[in-house]
Homo-oligomer: A and B are copies of this chain.
């Protein structure tokens, strides 16, 4: 595998044609935004470029690749993946394409290389920023569509600039997108200022059922499966739900417990610097970082919550 810098990746795209772009399974804003931006940019250079149809892309991001997708890879196609850290991240029906993929553009630090050439920058907050840099080197003039695709990728992967991965470069790219006519306000409203009613009802339930310990420095919320069913939350609604209790002023470390369909209890802990979420989860055989960690246990919900309380208070 040959590691390329941005200019070399631009060179690869310049000398080839007939591109087919792969997105990852459970597609997020970054993989879809990166694919759309790359596809549109290559077309602006007069190249043939398509995004391979990924059935898992939801309405939330599907509009980005409208008119850009095709159903199958052709023999002469140059296959390029965006935001795909390993063959296992490809959708099942793309699995056979890992071998034919020629270039991987990605920003995941821990990855399994699977292409002959790759542009990987683990310091980049998003893959979309890499695509934006490469398109700039290629002399592609940003337009509203490319800018919105890049912005969706970059803003979703940085949580609208609130995640720890946000860099000066993220802001520089956002400035480029805004100048090129991206509807920053509209996109932010749609992506970050809109929540489903079930999700907000879950927030409400969590606030009312949260146990605060140690003068409000610690929080524990145990969510029975019946409550999730009653409130009709989806997986999307529950995505990153464990970061919510930590947003209560004064809370330094918060644990969220959920019951899986098989009766296991999933624990997710979030902490600010000075507290160690991974150390808490280690008691249950789990792991992660100081700021965010997780574990699974056969204990029931109440029993696990009680043990968590002891552990967190004892630290």
CB pair A200–B248 under 8 Å, yes or no, is yes
The one of B161, B164, B203 that contacts A161, using a Cβ cutoff of 8 Å: B161
Cross-chain pairs A/B with CB under 8 angstroms, 21 sampled: A160-B161, A161-B174, A161-B184, A161-B188, A162-B192, A162-B193, A163-B185, A164-B185, A166-B178, A166-B185, A167-B178, A168-B175, A171-B175, A194-B249, A195-B247, A197-B207, A197-B216, A200-B203, A200-B207, A201-B207, A204-B205
Q: Which residues of A contact B (CB under 8 A)?
A: 160-164, 166-169, 171-172, 174-176, 178-179, 184-185, 188-189, 192-197, 200-201, 203-205, 207-208, 212, 216, 247-250, 272
Known: A175-B175, A200-B247, A203-B204. 12 other contacts (CB 8 A): A162-B188, A166-B185, A166-B188, A168-B176, A171-B171, A172-B175, A195-B248, A196-B248, A197-B207, A197-B249, A197-B250, A203-B207
The one of B188, B189, B200, B207 that contacts A272, using a Cβ cutoff of 8 Å: B189
Give the secondary structure class of A's interface: helix
**How long is the Cα–Cα vector from A166 to B184 in the complex, in angstroms?**
8
Closest chain B residue, CB of each to CB of A176: B168
A243 to chain B, nearest CB (A): 8
A268 to chain B, nearest CB (A): 17
The one of B188, B196, B207 that contacts A249, using a Cβ cutoff of 8 Å: B196
Closest chain B residue, CB of each to CB of A245: B200
Which B residues touch A160, using CB under 8 A? 160-162
6 interchain residue pairs of minimum CB distance? A204-B204, A168-B178, A171-B175, A171-B174, A168-B179, A172-B175
**How long is the Cα–Cα vector from A193 to B244 in the complex, in angstroms?**
9
**How long is the Cα–Cα vector from A208 to B194 in the complex, in angstroms?**
17
**How long is the Cα–Cα vector from A182 to B212 in the complex, in angstroms?**
32
**How long is the Cα–Cα vector from A188 to B203 in the complex, in angstroms?**
21
Which B residues touch A196, using CB under 8 A? 248-249
Which B residues touch A249, using CB under 8 A? 194-197
A184, A195, A212: residue with the most chain B Cβ atoms closer than 10 Å: A184
Which B residues touch A171, using CB under 8 A? 171-172, 174-175, 178
Which B residues touch A208, using CB under 8 A? 201, 204
**How long is the Cα–Cα vector from A37 to B104 in the complex, in angstroms?**
43
CB pair B197–A248 under 8 Å, yes or no, is yes
Closest chain B residue, CB of each to CB of A162: B188
Which B residues touch A178, using CB under 8 A? 166-168, 171
CB pair A193–B247 under 8 Å, yes or no, is yes
